A and B are shown apart, each in its own frame.
Chain A
Amino acid sequence: MTPPLLSVKDLTVRFKVRGAAPFREAAYLTAVDGVTFDVARGESLGIVGESGSGKSTTALAIARLITHHSGEVRLDGEDLLALKGGDLRRARRKFQFIFQDPYSSLNPRRRAAEIVTEPLASIGLVPKGDRRKLVDDLFEAVGLRPEQQNLFPHQFSGGQRQRIGIARALAPNPALVICDEAVSALDVAVQAQILNLLRRLQRERGLTYLFISHDLGVVQHMCDRIAVMYMGKIVEFADRLSLFNSPLHPYTCALLSAVPSVDPDRRARTKRILITGEPPSPTSPPPGCRFASRCPVAEPRCKTEPPPLREVREGHRVACHLVGDDARAPV
């Protein structure tokens, strides 16, 4: 087996909670708690979860855009979390980021071509003379016209801006592209254009995607394997068909059943599992399973004993006490 392109081990990110009284120990919010997964070369790995699940924080920590607490992130064998200064900046060409908001992610004072070549200028990768050709190629690849290169961001529509963001990410020819809610801010019709573009680029350039989204429909369409996160932990991890056709964790089941669908068959057959209440406070998570307080089938031990993430089927891992070795969903 070939080694994975990206390997994340026990990644933990925590934030100091502001407003702690003096002389009292600072409170921490653990946004990502011991997350471990691998991404194979050329695949798309999805991370889904609701707000506060830590999915975006995971992406930002892997991309070294926020400070991590502990863990290991290896890209092509190189430990990204250990890199500093110039080494880190040079390594950035191998992993690029596509941001959620096409309006705030482009510098309003730079022309489109300058934005796209920003990674090259920063890393000093391509000599100035060759950049023109590269920009032409990138603009064509993402479906923008060459005469648009000299426009400023506000002269583009939201979808076109996201294309610029994609071209910028592709400029240094990265191996890994992290898409953090890359289509969430777009209108549905434009969203389809961007999703198709991302898939085409993946086929053509052999890209590996780490795809963060709250939209299960989009993740289902884009990703080969999917991790479901809840309050900083991965609760379920499986390949696409296994996860969507036979989800195991009660939270995943509830999440899937909550998605409104146009498919009358699906509407008729899915019984909605309504989860009630609110997630517990992230600053003092419960000792056991973090979903226990809202879980429809929780048992006493769920509240005290944290369930380990274990493999119950080939390639299907779940963190739930109630999933037996027969791999049947408890709800």
Chain B
Amino acid sequence: MPPDPILEVKGLRVELSTRSGTVPVLDDLSFSIDAGETLAFVGESGCGKSMTALAVMGLVPHPIGRIASGSIRLAGEDLTRVPEKRMRAVRGNDVSMIFQEPMTALNPVYTAGEQIAESLRRHQDMGRRAAWEHAIEMLAAVGIPDPRGRASAYPHQMSGGQRQRVMIAMALACRPKVLIADEPTTALDVTVQAQIFELLKDLRRETGTALILITHDMGVVAEMAERMIVMYAGRKVEDGMVTDVIAEPKHPYTRGLISCVPHLAEVLTEERPDLTEVPGVVPPLTQFGRDMCLFSSRCPLADDKCWEERPPERRFGAGHVAACWHAEEVS
């Protein structure tokens, strides 16, 4: 029997109350991730990628949002049922997160070293000295030159790449079981992005941390992750091994996301056909939760059934799941 997954989410439904009623921003979401694995979440903005991260962190915006049903099991413990006090101990210790904008996610009035040490003292009961020394080790581990000196630097004295490294050092200081990276390199240049990804790969290998990577970039998914989940309008539309999904997507949305981006091919040719378009935009929140395929309005394959009934998740080979009535016609 395979070992239990480190994080297992089942039937998660997160509701948001808006002016026009309660809407599910996450609708019956299930997934799991093993230690040392990288799972990527892709989709456009407003599809529920970041909300998934917030739900796992126990940070669903209060009071407009709430977890309506489902479970989030971290090493067997259901995080939807623990009191806030326990959640505070989990956050930053067992599960931690790095954000898109390292400038605003770091506190500008504390030095890099202080911010890392603070988390260690809170969660790991370390003394002031020990925490500071460990913070310096962490900075060295994330590849910051002269870590002892940079530990006393404030966020604004660092470059974007260095700040993101500090964020990673902070997130990994307590050796979390799960690290969530929400668009960690979107604000960074590609050469720096490449450095950060190398770093994340190395650290994952060394620490066995499971990595949840939220991104909109299929290239990043292909480079970094083993498994991927495609989200659309709060629902999981496709789930599978990255190589399978990219080679043979089973949902038209996934296919659209892959082919609408002008990729760098191995060898470029004179040929430059128009990009495949996914017309339109993600439906407004008010339509979330309807009993239909929410992608219908943008889908070239949509027929009456798609507009009338939500497609169930169907299996296609090992671990490849897609929720589409016309999955066979997609690739």
Most buried by A among B160, B190, B281: B190
What distance in Å separates the Cβ of A144 from its nearest Cβ neighbour in chain B?
13
B263 touches A263 (CB 8 A): yes
Q: Which of B238-270 contact A (CB under 8 A)?
A: 243, 246, 256-258, 260-270
Give the segment of A32-40, A95-103, A191-199, A311-319 that binds chain B. Answer: A191-199
Are the CB atoms of A190 and B275 closer together than 8 Å?
no
Interface of A, helix, strand, loop or mixed by DSSP: helix
Inter-subunit contact A50/B268 (CB<8 Å): no
CA distance A264 to B195 in the complex (A): 20
Residues of A with C-beta under 8 A to B223: 260-261, 267
Partner of A261, one of B159, B162, B264, B277: B264
- Chain A window 186-211, contacts with chain B (Cβ cutoff 8 Å), 1 for yes, 0 for no: 01111111011001100000000000
Q: Are A258 and B222 in contact (CB under 8 A)?
A: no
Minimum CB–CB distance from B255 to chain A (whole Å) comes to 11
**B304 lies within 8 A of chain A by Cβ:** no
Which of A50, A189, A218, A259 meets B219, CB within 8 Å? A259
Say which size band chain A's interface belongs to. Answer: 35 or more
Shortest CB distance B318–A (Å)? 19
| Pairwise interchain contact A244-B268, C-beta atoms closer than 8 A | yes
Quote the shortest CB–CB distance from B26 to chain A (angstroms). 19
> Please, which residue of chain A has its CB at the minimum distance from the CB of B282?
A187
CB pair A262–B194 under 8 Å, yes or no, is no
Inter-chain contact A274/B195, CB cutoff 8 Å: yes
| Of A157, A195, A278, the contact of B275 (CB 8 Å cutoff) | A195
| B279 proximal to A (CB < 8 A) | yes
Digitize A153-192: 1 where CB-to-B-CB distance is under 8 Å, 0 elsewhere: 0000101000000000000000000000000000111111
Q: Tell me, yes or no, whether B217 is within 8 Å of chain A by CB.
A: yes
B14: Cβ under 8 A from any A Cβ: no
**Docked CA distance A308–B278 (Å):** 45
Q: Is the CB of B266 within 8 A of A220?
A: no
A-side contacts of B48, CB under 8 Å: none
Chain A residues with CB below 8 A from B218, complex form: 262
Q: Does chain A have a CB within 8 A of B216?
A: yes
Q: Does B24 contact A (CB under 8 A)?
A: no
Report B-chain residues with C-beta under 8 Å of the C-beta of A192: 260-261, 275-278
Task: List, in ascending order, chain A residues with CB within 8 A of B263's CB.
Answer: 217, 261-263
- A265–B262 CA distance with the chains assembled, in angstroms: 16
Whether A244 and B191, one on each chain, are in contact in the complex, defined by CB atoms closer than 8 angstroms, is: no
* Cα distance A265–B247 in the bound complex, in angstroms: 12
User: How far, in whole Å, are A190 and B298 apart by their CA atoms in the complex?
Assistant: 12
CB pair B272–A221 under 8 Å, yes or no, is: yes
Q: Which of B190, B198, B258 contacts A259 (CB 8 A)?
A: B190
Contact check, B264 vs A241: say whether CB atoms are below 8 A apart.
no
Q: Is A51 an interface residue (CB 8 A)?
A: yes
CB pair A262–B219 under 8 Å, yes or no, is yes
Whether A189 contacts B278 by the Cβ 8 Å rule is yes
Quick check: B278 and A266 within 8 Å, CB to CB?
no
CB-CB < 8 A to B296: which residues of A?
none
- Report A's interface with B, CB cutoff 8 A: 50-51, 157, 159, 187-193, 195-196, 199-200, 214, 216-218, 220-222, 240-241, 244-245, 254-267, 269, 272, 274-278
Q: Which residues of B contact A (CB under 8 A)?
A: 44-45, 145, 159-162, 189-195, 197-198, 216-224, 243, 246, 256-258, 260-270, 272, 274-279, 281
21 intermolecular pairs with C-beta atoms under 8 Å apart: A50-B192, A187-B45, A192-B260, A192-B275, A192-B277, A193-B277, A193-B279, A214-B190, A217-B219, A217-B261, A217-B264, A241-B269, A260-B219, A260-B224, A261-B222, A262-B263, A264-B243, A267-B223, A269-B266, A274-B195, A275-B191
- Given A221-B275, A241-B269, A269-B266, 15 more pairs with CB closer than 8 A: A50-B192, A191-B260, A192-B277, A195-B275, A216-B190, A244-B264, A260-B193, A260-B194, A260-B220, A260-B223, A261-B222, A262-B258, A262-B263, A266-B266, A274-B194
